[in-house]
Chain A
Amino acid sequence: MELLEASLLASGSTIATVALRRVDPSVKGSIYDLLGKLNFTLLPNTAGCFSAQEARKVAELAREAFETNLVKLEVIGDDVTLLPDTTETLLAAKELVQAGFEVWAYTSDDLIVAQRLEQAGCAAVMPLGSPIGSGLGVLNPHSIALICERLEVPVLLDAGIGTASDAALAMELGCDGVLAASAINRALEPVRMAESLRAAVQAGYLAHHAGRIPPRVHAEASSPMLGRPDLFAQ
């Protein structure tokens, strides 16, 4: 619990997502109390759900437990790849928005699905960079950039971050934020990794808004040719 607290603080984040699991009375210390103490916004998730019906139930349990309308909607379609079931996600998103939830939807990096989720009333769309826990980073930067460009609601990169450069790239592509779980809690030194992600998100955000130079195939000298001294005059 101390490591979690130190990592949360080092990350500079103000929002933390939590899963909903059976109470174990033998476990001392509560994540709910810790997040309250640190003044974090609690974002309950529906991790582990495989259908819209299940996700809806878990969201309602979370609302009851934490007195919040926020929910990070996750509906998984396959237990090997943990890739999102976008059909069930869209169905659940519509139902949850109807039921008064503020839905942040985890989804694939497909622009059209992201747009459908926005149209369904999601408050944020969270495309994956790569599969959950893979640490493969952003596998399709073009798709992520397109989603960021075409959506009005905040876009947060969810899943796949392995290290600082992945988070920086996501921000450079135009994301409004990133989610990191495994990247921090499975790192050898979680607190240090949390701090690196904080710096990476800041760097990527600055770079995105600074307007990078367009990449080009050939070199372009930064020093002018004009005004070179003639050092071999006859």
Chain B
Amino acid sequence: MIRVNGELQNFIAATVSNLLSEMGIETRGIAVALNGEIVSRSEWSSTLINDNDSIEVVTAAAGG
């Protein structure tokens, strides 16, 4: 089990890239943090996801 944006989920994804495509997330204008550390776009495909990891996927939202 991994935690994605606060929700416990069962994903088969091995890497951050896999996870984003499995979730059907449009990758323009997003950023990813894995256990509180930012994973840059260039590292998405090489960054492995392990059991109990916590992942935040964020994007632009309206608000001043």
- Of the candidates A4, A22, A132, which one forms a contact with B56 in the assembled complex, judged by CB atoms under 8 Å apart? A22
Task: Check: A131 CB closer than 8 A to any chain B CB.
Answer: no
B62 touches A4 (CB 8 A): yes
B57 touches A22 (CB 8 A): yes
On chain A, the residues within 8 Å of B60 by CB distance are 18-21, 30-32, 35, 42, 44, 65-66
Contact code string A7-26 (vs B, CB < 8 Å = 1, else 0): 00000000001111111010
Residues 5-53 (chain B) with a chain A CB within 8 angstroms: 5-6, 23-26, 28-33, 36, 38, 40-41
In Å, the complex CA distance between A44 and B25 comes to 20
- Of the candidates A45, A66, A180, which one forms a contact with B29 in the assembled complex, judged by CB atoms under 8 Å apart? A66
On chain B, the residues within 8 Å of A159 by CB distance are 64
Residue with the highest number of chain B CB atoms closer than 10 Å, among A22, A31, A179, A185: A22
Interface size for chain A: under 10, 10 to 19, 20 to 34, or 35 or more residues? 20 to 34
In Å, the complex CA distance between A180 and B62 comes to 12
Report A's interface with B, CB cutoff 8 A: 4, 17-23, 25, 30-33, 35, 42, 44-45, 47, 57, 60-62, 64-66, 132, 158-159, 179-182, 185
B58 touches A21 (CB 8 A): yes
A62 touches B28 (CB 8 A): no
> Can you list 17 contacts pairing A with B, beta carbon distance less than 8 Å?
A18-B61, A19-B61, A19-B62, A20-B61, A21-B59, A22-B57, A22-B58, A23-B30, A23-B58, A32-B29, A33-B29, A35-B60, A57-B36, A61-B31, A61-B58, A65-B31, A132-B64
19 further A-B contacts with Cβ under 8 Å, apart from A57-B38, A64-B41, A181-B63, are A19-B63, A20-B60, A21-B59, A22-B57, A23-B57, A23-B58, A23-B59, A30-B59, A31-B60, A32-B59, A33-B29, A44-B60, A45-B64, A60-B38, A64-B38, A65-B31, A65-B58, A66-B60, A180-B64
On chain B, the residues within 8 Å of A61 by CB distance are 31, 33, 38, 58
Residue with the highest number of chain B CB atoms closer than 10 Å, among A17, A18, A31, A65: A65
Query: How many B residues face the partner with a CB closer than 8 A?
Result: 25
In Å, the complex CA distance between A179 and B28 comes to 26
Expressed in whole angstroms, the minimum distance between the Cβ of B28 and any Cβ of chain A is 6
A25 touches B23 (CB 8 A): yes
